[in-house]
Structure 1
Amino acid sequence: MENISQLWKTVQTPGFELSQNNNIIEQILEFARTSHAPAQVSFGTSGWRGEIGSEFTIRNLQVVGKAIVRMYREADAALFAELGIKDFAELQKKGLVLGHDNRFLGKEFCAAVAHEFLQADIPVFFAGEATTPEFSAAVEMLDAACAINMTPSHNPNHYGGIKFNPADGGPADTGITDVITRLANEMMPDHKFEPIPAELAWEELDILKVYKEFLEKQETIKFNRIESLVNGGRLALVVDHVHGATRGRPGYLLNNPKCLVSLRTEDDPLFGGVAPEPSSKNLEGVKQILDASKAWYRLGVIFDPDGDRIRFYDGTTEIDMNAFGAIAFHYMVTWRKLKGVVAKSVATSNFVNIIADSLGVEVAETPVGFKNFRPWMHRQAKPKALIAFEESDGISGLNNTLEKDAQFGLLLALEIIAVTGKNLGEYLEALYTECGRLYPERSGFDVERAMVGAPLLEKVQSIGEKVKIGSQIAVGDNSKEVKTVLTVDGVKIVFTDNSWMLIRPSGTEPKVRIYTECLDPAEKDDLFAAAKSLFFGK
């Protein structure tokens, strides 16, 4: 709806003040509550995201709720196996865990979906504002059938979103989300708006309490090792919540230590006008405090709104997930003395590959998307992932949630500092000294719109068929020998010097994404040019 989009553009104008322009927001929210306009539903990795007021509305969430219930009613044995229950009666027995992040109309959107489940005699456990990993943990602890989280994760403030998790608590795979998408779009045009009762018979759930009990039960984090650090008077701990659902979580999990400073905890669904993501730019508040700190140990983190992404700073060094995932894996093997594998997406740094090779540990390299770690993360997995992580700031670990868990990342960082006596930057520098340093980069280029979809995928796949192990590829004024070619998601070419390039097509846009990593930062442009030349056959 053009008028809604225009209103959102006004909201996103620099300098917009919610307190002075609340009438604009109220217009948008009224559309979200009352609009009968249908929307096209498209579930991605585990959820659907849309603009609040024009696409993401009460009416359209009623449709999605109906679609999910109908999926369970009509599921065959294969789909029930993927959902993790045996039949519809088991859904009615075990129920749904439901909640939302800090964005506009979270509880009302939940009510729209809850009403559909309750009408089908499916119990609903309502968590209120909560984080993505807490839903994953609650499904397991309550033995629930599924979870729904109203969040578009780190998307801009005008988006709403809905994530679905089956009975193992992990991100829903395409076998599930494709069915939800098909049924929702089939039902969308003819759905009649249904009034929602003011009072719903859901059961309120203290999901944070359940999440901490999960961590203690699974022995995911060694809390006894952290306690002396956070209460010892030598730690400065700064956490930036960017107004999201992680607010109050670190204090609860750590018993409110005096060393904890929490930033941006106020109610603000507009996130102060910033992109709500754990970026270098958004870390500035954390950096200012830790740069001035004289504490022996320093740790700063920033979360995204639903608590599934995190980035770190230690007063001297910014640590992204490419680096922290490698630190965490090395710690699990060398300090905790655990056995297993490390799981990472194909676009993630190969720094952990080098470390794993030196330790004699297998690397499971998967397509992009946290759902692809399930074979190494579920409770019966053999071997199990000690750490699973993606370059886009998501992480989980042994016996933890199948979802990304930024809170786990914070707690594990504290454990690493407590056990090793090193700040994260010191640990990282020691690894660089031992294993060498790689410099990751992301870029891309546009192609003709006619190539979107299958033609673009076929074009990229053809590169993987042509490039052979042992062949030479020109990179700048030099040539590199191909050591490995991976085709699990695009084409990743790894060279004998451990530099690499990944050529990966977008599935929805006329774009090709290029990921590179090299030992010399001056080589970044040459690797990108070489990848582009391979794509165009030059």
Structure 2
Amino acid sequence: MSLHPNAGKMPAPESLIDPSELVTAFFTLQPDPAKPAQKVSFGTSGHRGSSLSKAFNEAHLLAVAQAVADHRKEQGITGPLYLGLDSHALSYPAFATVLRVLIANAVNVRFEDRQLTPTPAVSHAILAHGGNADGLILTPSHNPPEDGGIKYNPPDGGPADTQVTKVIQSRANSYLEAGLDGVRMLSFERAISSPHAERFDFMADYVQRLGEVVDMAAIKDAGLRLGVHPMGGAAIDYWRAIAQHWGLDVTLVEERVDSRFGFIPCDHDGKIRMDCSSPHAMASLIAVKDDFDLALGNDTDGDRHGIVTPDAGLLNCNRYLAVVVDYLLKHRPTLPETLGVGTTVVTSAQVGRVARAAGRHFMETPVGVKWFVDGLYNGKLIFGGEESAGGTFVTRDGKPWSTDKDGIIMCLLAAEILAVTGMTPSRYYKDIIEAQFGPTWYQRIDAPITDELKAGFARLGSEVAKGALLAGEPVVDAFTQAPGNNAAIGGLKVVTEHGWFAARPSGTEPIYKIYAESFKSQGHLDAIIKDAQALLAQWLAEA
């Protein structure tokens, strides 16, 4: 996909959304459950869409909330449901809507009063409860301002697995098809004043216990100057509280919270996207990198991280994952050596090299942190993460901290790494990771996808790559199921001796993604991508 001329530039005022239009559409437009694009569809991480396209409207949220209430009853979950939300315009009416249904079903709902709640704080609260509790987070993550989203986290604290989301999705669509018959609901006034609606301080416990998972004292003692860009999202008040409670020198480089997100530079395609792994969306933080020892960013619900260093700018998130794994394995000596490392099949091979060199079990899965929840929850993994700037890790004594992605602790760990080693994460990668394993070149590109192409991906088999050449090298392996757990990856990965590519439709946006890595050179990577595009065009046409 070619770079949009507005990439990295502030959006024009006339291009910004009108939040009132979105909210009006949320309550007035009715989805047609006979149309696939207007049904409830749980992708990689929940159901997402815009109210303007009838993909995220009041009816969807009423149906999903009732389906979740039904699921809780069937599973015997009688504890509280922790409810979080981010700063997207549609998160606010979604909050009111799900609360009306959950309270009508006598669910005890815990939420922060007049405050946004990041995804990791919800996961942490579920785990801290000690069982028999679950959660909902109203967020489309880094998606554009016009989108809304909802995701469900069961009692293990992480994103629900596909078996659970299929049940919720199917039940919700049944309610839509029945005209919401069977959905219990109260007025918002009755719901918010019910004893089942419990105000809860997510932030206090999360912030005060951060020392269990990150060496906060080392960060303070090093006197690091940290710049933080919360990208107008739910982490903003958490960073203020972290600075105050732990005595850190933190400067918020952007303090605005506005659901139009007019202060976020345009992404590669000219859209506003609160993606802290994008050098275009993070352009304003990169511009002030020399003012700080380290600059850090989170997306709108705080589950992603962006690491900006004075010496390298925005650190490629694949490289940072390799640094995190290497650092944790070397600086958490009391943790059992049986703890392994989990990443996805589209993450850089460097992460696996680090884990295997340390003698650790290495697990490759399909895209989505949900695949690491069991390992983190049951003491099998020290870390789980993916190339799209998402990851989390266990406490310093090996307990699960957040089994969903936690962009806040991933940022704080970057500060710990600098404080303890004296190296920025980018320097650590160069001097430690590359020195041992050599350099790699990695790139992800996105392209629009049609329903026909998406159907073609579903029919692709690994046999199509038999006898193929990629950048002049024969294909040595191709698979559609992840080697770590044999689950379908939703696409295809093709491997040669000196590189690989993978392709899959996005689970959250109408695009497909090509991931590629070379172990030789940038020119070799370019050749892999060129051949990958040509091969995919041929294979999808024949599928």
User: TM-score, normalization: structure 1?
Assistant: 0.82
Aligned to 2:423: 422
CA RMSD of aligned residues (A): 3.0
Q: Residue 434 of structure 1: CA displacement?
A: 2.3
1:181-227 deviations in Å (ceiling 9; x for gaps)? 111111114127864326432111111112235544xx222222222
Structure 1 residues 172 and 425: CA distance shift in structure 2, 3 A: same
Question: For the Cα contact (< 8 Å) 1:486–1:493, is it kept in 2?
Answer: no
**In structure 2, what is the equivalent of residue 26 of structure 1?**
20
List gaps (5 residues or longer) in structure 2.
1-9, 33-37, 265-271, 395-399, 483-488
Rounded Cα–Cα distance in structure 2 between residues aligned with 1:28 and 1:533: 39
CA distance in 1, matches of 2:55, 2:478: 44
| SS, match of residue 258 in structure 2 | coil
Identical positions, percent = 27
2:457–2:505 contact (8 Å) kept in structure 1: yes
Q: Take 2:476 and 2:448, find their aligned partners in 1: how far apart are those partners?
A: 26
Corresponding residue to 1:329 among 325, 337, 340: 325
CA contact (8 A) 1:32 1:56 kept: yes
**What does residue 470 of structure 1 align with?**
none
Partner of 1:277: 275
- Pair 1:353–1:486, CA change in 2 (3 A): farther
Question: Contact conserved, 2:44 with 2:367, CA < 8 A, in 1?
Answer: no
In structure 2, how many angstroms separate the alpha carbons of the residues matched to 1:116 and 1:136? 22
Cα 1:529/1:275, change in 2 over 3 Å: closer
Structure 1 pair 119–424 and aligned structure 2 pair: CA distance change class (3 A): same
User: Once the 2 structures are TM-superposed, how far is the Cα of residue 392 of structure 1 from its aligned partner?
Assistant: 0.6
Residue identity opposite 2:94 in structure 1:
F
Partner of 1:157 in structure 2?
145
Q: Is the 8 A contact 1:46 1:173 kept in 2?
A: no
Q: Which amino acid aligns with 1:57?
A: N
Structure 2 counterpart SS, 1:97: strand
Q: How far 1:356 sits from its partner (Å)?
A: 2.6
User: Deviation string for 1:69-101 (max 9, x for gaps)?
Assistant: 12334x3xxxx3xxxxxx2xx42xx12111211
Residue equivalent to 1:120 = 105
Q: Is 1:145–2:133 an aligned residue pair?
A: yes
The CA distance in 2 between the partners of 1:392 and 1:487, in whole Å, is: 20
- 1:368 offset after TM fit, Å? 0.8
Q: Which residue does 1:528 correspond to in 2?
A: 529
2:6 matched residue in structure 1:
none
Residues 82-101 of structure 1 mapped to structure 2, 5 A cutoff: 87=76, 90-91=77-78, 94-101=79-86
State how far apart, in whole Å, the 1-side matches of 2:31 and 2:357 are.
Answer: 58
1:8 matched residue in structure 2: none
| CA offsets 1:213-265 (integer angstroms, 9 cap, x no match) | 5544xx22222222212xx3xx2211111111111212312436463110222
Contact between 2:462 and 2:478, CA under 8 Å: does it hold in 1? no
How has the CA–CA distance of structure 1 residues 486 and 333 changed in structure 2, closer, same or farther, with 3 Å as cutoff? Answer: farther
Q: Mapping of 1:118-517 within 5 angstroms?
A: 118-127=103-112, 128-143=115-130, 145-189=133-177, 190-191=179-180, 195-197=187-189, 199-201=192-194, 202-216=197-211, 219-229=212-222, 232=223, 235-255=224-244, 257=247, 259-272=249-262, 274-278=272-276, 279-291=278-290, 293=291, 298-317=293-312, 318-337=314-333, 338=335, 339=337, 340-378=339-377, 380-381=378-379, 384-398=380-394, 399-430=400-431, 431-443=433-445, 450=452, 452-453=454-455, 455-463=456-464, 466=466, 474-476=469-471, 478-480=472-474, 482=476, 487-488=481-482, 489=489, 490-497=491-498, 499-504=499-504, 513-517=513-517
Match of 1:64 in 2: 64
Q: Which moved more, 1:56-65 or 1:260-269?
A: 56-65
SS of alignment partner, residue 287 of structure 2: helix
Q: Equivalent residue of 2:327, what SS?
A: helix
TM-aligned CA distance change 1:25 to 1:313, over 3 Å? closer
Native 8 Å contact 2:124 2:206 kept in 1: yes
Select the structure with the greater relative contact order (CA < 8 A; seq sep ≥ 6). Answer: 2
Aligned-pair distance for 1:42?
1.1
- The secondary structure found in structure 2 opposite 1:276 is coil
Unaligned runs of 5+ in 1: 1-11, 81-86, 468-472
- Residue 14 of structure 1 is matched in structure 2 by 12
- Call closer, same or farther: CA 1:426–1:506 in 2, change over 3 Å: closer
Aligned pair in 2 of structure 1 residues 426, 451: CA closer, same or farther (>3 Å)?
closer
Structure 1 residues 438 and 269 mapped into 2: Cα distance closer, same or farther (>3 Å)? same
Residues 526 and 460 of structure 1: CA distance in aligned 2, closer, same or farther (over 3 Å): farther
Paired residues, number: 486
- The farther-off stretch of 352-361 and 154-163 is 352-361
Is the radius of gyration larger for structure 1 or structure 2?
1
* Letter of the structure 2 residue corresponding to residue 142 of structure 1: H
Write the distance in 1 (CA, Å) between the matches of 2:243 and 2:55. 39
Residues 50 and 56, structure 1, Cα contact 8 Å, conserved in 2:
yes
